[in-house]
Amino acid sequence: MMALKCFLRPWQWMLWLLLVSYCRAFYIPGYSINRYNDGDSIPLLVNKIFSDFTQLQYAYFDLPFVCPPSGRTHGGSPFGSGQSLSLNLGEILRGDRIMTSDFELAMGKNVECQPLCTQEVGRKDVQWGRELIKDGYVAEWIADNLPGATSFVTVDRSRKYYSTGFKLGYQEISPEDGKRRYFLNNHVTIVIRWRQAPDGQGKVVVGFEVYPKSITASDREEGGCPKQVHDPHAGFELNIPPNLEKLKEKYPGSSYLPEYDEDLEDGATLKIPFTYSVYFREENGVDWSNRWELYFNNQEEGSTTHWLAILNSLIISGVLGVAVYVIWSRTIQGDIKGRGDGAMDDTKIKLGSKGKGQGEGVLEQGTDVERDADAGSDDDESIEDVSGWKLLHGDVFRVPEYSGLLAPLVGSGMQLFFVVSGLLLLSCLGVLNPSFRGGFVSVGMGLFVFAGLFSGYFSGRLYKTFGGSNWRRNTLITALLFPGLTFSLIFILNLFTWAQASSTAIPFGTLVSLVALWLLIQVPLVYLGNWLGHVRASAWEHPTKTTSIARQVPIQPWYLRSVSGTLLTGLIPFAVLFIELLFLFRNLWQDKSSYYYVFGFLSSVSLILLVTIAEVTIIATYSQLCAENHHWWWQSFLTGGSSAFWIFAYCIWYYMFKLNVTGFVSGLLFFSYSFLACAVYGLLTGTVGFLTAYAFVKRIYSSVKVD
């Protein structure tokens, strides 16, 4: 009993109970079931419009040709329509603007037709609506955390799948004059698919489908609903006839008169009636836990290609693994342990002078390795017994140029490695799922801020290993360099999106919050990590001492030179990725609703990619050392991140031949975000390459014994 009392003190019992209560309160986002009884209100939320042909998004209620919120309450909600919902950071950054609407949905209650409003718009609003329809914009609504979807079936009609959103309208060529006509979808049929809850208590929503329709303003009942709403109707054309008299006055004698001139607003308007229908259908073929799979069913045909991409990656990584094994087991181990004369174990190495240059020690200045230009025949035999990479034992750990920049870059790379690893792990575990809207970006930002501790630690310790003393300056560079450049780029892009009044623009308050997270939380964590890495921890020890005079680097083969060699080595990791890149880009830039689908495959490919980068870096570093080039520090970093160049080239190809993006701002956003993503990728993989080469070089030179 005394032992138990000593083992669990009162404050420990309190901590234990707090932990238990926290664990019971934890749940994976998106796995909390909403149950409805007949007649219960289902809130319908409106979000934004987006297009595959442009990167500019707009809030739904910012459109002048839709029904504005009336502000009235319904369904027992204390909030009136038009109320903005509180959004997490990820939702704001991805352009979401979720608000309550005037649509009334009650579980089990079908509505044949319900008028919503009649909106009156002018020429400028009509013209903007025509441009949005031309660009293929679709609207996103939300019900029970499911985005409203357009339903499709496969060619053999065996499967159904969803595509997020529904089109604002459509266009067609007039058979009379050959001009384009634009029709607005002013009626929607909402289908809510439900089934009994797993425990039998209430009903759950397993599908939210929206079927838009364009119906002319004529032949309607007194309330505004069209007669026989589901019968074929003529479409509602989004058009106000031009004022020919004013156009002729402005363009006298011209044979071409524009349909719209913003300087000639004459007060003409167009009245648009909006209506909707609601139907509830029981669907027992879909479980609540699998309701999101309908949004990904159209990806099943690509699963074979994904597995082929993984197989391709494994083959490439396996071939490189064999090469690394040969280097390690036969070349290096044979040079060190397989020699009968014990040249590297028991004999003092004397090296002929191959050139002189000024250098500086890495950690400490030890006894110089003897360099005797007039060595006798015995020394010549020793030289012949020593292979190329062993000649560099006095220079291989020499401090690289611009070491004050390399250390912060490696620290930032470790920070990104922690973030990406955490995101992929949480995605594979299901914590980050489509139900957790904006969770990927929000969690990523949280991990990035917290990982400042790792960034500071690795940067500070490597900086100390390089012999640096001003660790506070290194802290500032680590904390401000990469986040500062990233924030500056995003801020400049934000100016362009602000000018377009797009919801893609980050609100000013959010920008202030991001700066506060950066300066008030991340910077102190980087400072703490740098203090731990530089002040409290010891520098990494090297197995050989650095001479005071640097060796002259001989002329290198073309494939080992900095630019050509780096680009050449980057092709191999790119070969691991390029098959998956097409699917990844399509889901990120085009089919924006199903990007969660690629996470499982991307996690597998990412692991193979990191192994491949480590193997490529080992082979490239060993080849460089055998060519008597001791400048491997920066080269290993560039080798690891070199595939980022080919990925950016792939982005250019994708933009030109696949994306069909129009407009200067959309193109600017695409290339800027692509460049930023490639920079993040290059920084992360470059760090992996550098640390792999560092461990490899330390390991092989630890077996070299120099008296």
Closest Cα partner for 468 from 453, 478, 479? 478
Q: Which residues pair with 142 in a beta bridge?
A: 45, 147
Distance, in Å, from the CA atom of 360 to the CA atom of 338, rounded to the nearest integer, reads: 34
Q: Are 505 and 497 in contact (CB under 8 A)?
A: yes
Of 381, 377, 368, nearest in space to 707 by CA = 368
Q: Which residues pair with 82 in a beta bridge?
A: none
Q: Residues 320-330: pLDDT tens digits?
A: 999 888 888 76
Look at residues 49, 224, 37, 73 and name the one whose alpha carbon lies nearest to residue 137.
49
- Confidence at 53, pLDDT banded by 50, 70, 90: confident
Domain ranges of the chain: 40-251+259-295, 309-332+406-427+438-449+465-535+554-703
Indicate the pLDDT class of residue 373, thresholds 50, 70 and 90: very low
For 441-483, what is each residue's pLDDT tens digit?
Answer: 999 999 999 999 999 999 999 999 999 999 999 999 999 999 9
Q: Render 241-263 in DSSP notation, one character per residue.
A: ---HHHHHHHSTT-S---S--GG
Largest CA distance in the chain: 113
Q: Is the pLDDT of residue 371 over 80?
A: no
Q: What is the pLDDT of residues 559-601, one digit of tens each?
A: 777 788 888 999 999 998 888 888 788 777 776 655 555 555 5
- Which tens digits make up the pLDDT trace of 275-305? 999 999 999 999 998 898 888 765 555 566 6
Bridge partners (DSSP) listed for residue 190: 210, 278
**pTM metric for this prediction:** 0.85
Residue with tokens 């250019």: 652
Residues sharing a CB contact under 8 Å with residue 571, sequence separation 6 or more, in sequence order: 643, 646
Tell me how far CA of residue 407 lies from CA of 359, 410, 413, 682, in angstroms: 20, 5, 10, 15
What is the distance between the alpha carbons of residues 613 and 684, in angstroms, rounded to a whole number?
11
> Which of 30-34, 431-435, 543-547 shows the highest mean pLDDT?
543-547
| Cβ atoms of 529 and 463 closer than 8 Å | no
